[in-house]
Structure 1
Amino acid sequence: MRNIVERVFEGALWNSRFMVILPVIFALFGATALFIVASVDIWDMVVATWDVFINHIHLKDFHDSLVSGVIGAVDLYLIAVVLLIFAFGIYELFISEIDDAKESEAGSKILAIHDLDELKSKLGNVIVMVLIVSFFKKVIHMDFATPLDMLYLAGSIFALALSLYYMHKSHEKH
């Protein structure tokens, strides 16, 4: 028979898992904020496009700012997705499976997390995509002055392609 101290301690230890509700809630807040900011950025680009083509207002470097803005918004959306996956995964791992996700065809595949390795894999994939988008955003604004600069760019693109290939290959095995 277990003594009272052991039961109380183990009960408190087991219930301490509910502390993860804080990162879950704040990850959801963060994801919501990023979705809103990225959507406002896209809306601003739609308004600027309207001004350029309908109202014939000339904006300096319109195309560059439009492409850069879209890439920045995609980057924010992807980071928001990282936070969502993190929130769902931590909740499912520590607190409870999400019943509504089981009933949903899309949710059960995308956001269902069964172990820590699966959470790390899903987060890792989205983080790699964030890095690729961030790299693309930086490359757009670079000036290539020498052939060596172009060689570095080609090598970087090759490394990105290789990483995507191996990510895809690792998912085929699962």
Structure 2
Amino acid sequence: MGVFRAEDKNISKKKVIYSCRFMTFLGTLGSLLGSVLCFIKGCMYVVDSFLQYSVNRGKVIFLLVEAIDIYLLGTVMLVFGLGLYELFISNLDTSESRTHDIVSNRSSLFGMFTLKERPQWLEVKSVSELKTKLGHVIVMLLLIGLFDKSKRVVITSVTDLLCISVSIFFSSACLFLLSRLNGSH
């Protein structure tokens, strides 16, 4: 009888520890809310660029680059939040869900765009894979930041122009190599 109680205690401890995975829901929710805020802020930059078009056309490009930067940050937060959900909270098996779910019950945008299967970018099987996906988006953010900074640099000599072009080339080459190392084409 004492053996059964010890086993019951071990099972209940495992259940408690396994239930702690739902704490990642806080990170998921915060990340998704942050993503929504980033997309709203990006839209504000786009609207502001339309308003500035007739007044100061030079500022329009800067506002649109800022919008792209904010949209990418929102995408990072979205991918991170969905990846956390997929890794720790979701109990869906992709092969099982494809055979059992009805297409009309799948995720869609107000019933207009029904997804027949889970998007490949959402299938996260490990924390390492999630970090790799986030790394790609972060490198892209850094590349856009470099482009933004390069527009503000005053070029006074051929050496300045060469340094800027080499830095943009190396950054783009790093993004290309990162995508090739991961096997995504």
Report the TM-score when normalising by structure 2.
Answer: 0.79
1:13 correspondence with 2:7: no
Q: CA deviation at 1:173?
A: 6.9
SS in 2 for 1:3: helix
Partner of 1:63: 57
Aligned to 1:48: 52
CA separation in 2, counterparts of 1:113 and 1:73?
28
Residue matched to 2:103 = none
> Which residue in 2 is equivalent to 1:88?
82
Q: Does 1:116 align with 2:143?
A: no
Alpha carbons of 1:106 and 1:163: their partners in 2 closer, same or farther (altered >3 Å)?
farther
- Residue in structure 2 matched with residue 77 of structure 1 by the alignment: 71
Question: Which range is displaced more, 120-129 or 143-152?
Answer: 143-152
Deviation of 1:164 (Å)? 2.2
Shift of residue 120 of structure 1?
Answer: 1.4
User: Does the CA contact (< 8 Å) of 2:28 and 2:85 recur in 1?
Assistant: yes
CA RMSD of aligned residues (A): 2.2
Is residue 91–residue 97 contact of structure 1 (8 Å, CA) maintained in 2? no
Shift of 1:107: 4.6
Identity among equivalent pairs (%) = 27
Matched to 1:136, the amino acid is F
Which whole-Å CA distance do the structure 2 matches of 1:33 and 1:19 have between them?
22
Unaligned residue ranges in structure 2 (runs of 5+): 98-105, 108-113
Q: CA deviation at 1:19?
A: 0.1
Q: Which runs of 5+ in 1 are unaligned?
A: 53-58
- Alpha-carbon contact 2:69-2:141 (below 8 Å) kept: yes
Matches within 5 A, 1:120-139: 120-139=131-150
TM-score norm. by structure 1 comes to: 0.83
Provide the rounded CA distance (Å) in 2 between the counterparts of 1:30 and 1:96. 21
Provide the rounded CA distance (Å) in 1 between the counterparts of 2:124 and 2:76: 13
Counting matched residue pairs gives 163
